[in-house]
Structure 1
Amino acid sequence: MATVINQTRVGAPAKATGGISIAPLGTALPTDAKTPLDPAFKLSGLISEDGLNESPKRDTEDIKAWGGHLARVLQADYAIEVSLTYIERTEETLKEVHGDSNVNVQTSGAERNVSITKNATQLETKARIADMLDGKTKVRLVYPRSQITSVGESSYNHKGLITYPVTLKCYPDENGNYGYEYESTALA
């Protein structure tokens, strides 16, 4: 009798401390769901309960034949956008939102001081990895080259957390791929 495996998955973060890791471009990338990450990868902070939303986009163009009938559909473009909302103010989160060179965190004794410069400096392109865990199944999304291109509105009020909604765009790597997805399930 064949073993039946439930193929549904939940995209819960692999660690309670966050599920998105970031590293400089050129950092060694994993090629499976379970290999430990290069030490250059750092967790970027807690993400809201909405998690990560990946939106592949394929722009197409309809080519019509004489008489107006559809003859062919050509793909004009491909892209991946990822959106998420940070709900934590770690050093890595702040650097994601404001740029590495615009955030200065100093710890002295029992005090942590943060200084943020807000300017038009373009945010850095980095490698990003999302690790998820569903029981015995690990899922890993790898974005070799991605950049935060939009930071949404942050509210500062007494009724909720300070949040940082961001959208990032993925660029093709040296193989022309915008991202990779790996899964590993322990069968025993």
Structure 2
Amino acid sequence: MSDLRETITYRHYYTPEEHSEKSQQLATVNIQKVELEDEKKAITSEYKAKIDAHQSQLNLLSRQVHDRFETRTILAVKRKNFTDRIWEYINPDSGEIIKTEPLTGRDLQYDVPLSDEELPGATSQDDSPIEGEDLENGVEPDATEYLPALLPGQPEDPPKLLGTGEERDDAGTGTADLPGPKKRRPKPKKP
């Protein structure tokens, strides 16, 4: 009789040597898988950082296109415009007025340029030192020498600032009669 052949499946139980070999294969494949996952994470985080950088740049450009401007910092020229009562900030490169602000009360005061003769420590036209100036000894003159003399009828003590309690009247003789807070009339009593 002749033997017939057929392919079938069955359970083969490992011998201790086969089991040890499969254990070694399992450990090797598991380590390879962990290494590939770590490599994938590193590459993913690297690409994620690149993608995030591009997304940030996209967001910034989208905002700038939408708003039609960007904020820049420059060293601008600042000039008073008394006609329009504004500060003008001028771009030194283009000469363009890039920003304006209203002048405050203090800003509205004109700057009076002094000539060389009016500046402290200056000499007169004949190059002689100003009277009272002792520059040889390194002593500068008293600043009061450069203040203008009082006009006739002007009080010796100039008026103090309002609100200090020491206000002078126009003649400089005493406390000025300044209007105080308005007094309220008492309400009439009902009978």
Q: TM-score range by the shorter chain?
A: under 0.3
Bigger relative CO (Cα 8 Å, ≥ 6 apart): 1
* Greater Rg over alpha carbons, structure: 2
The TM-score with structure 1 as length reference comes to 0.13
Answer 1 or 2: which has greater strand percent: 1
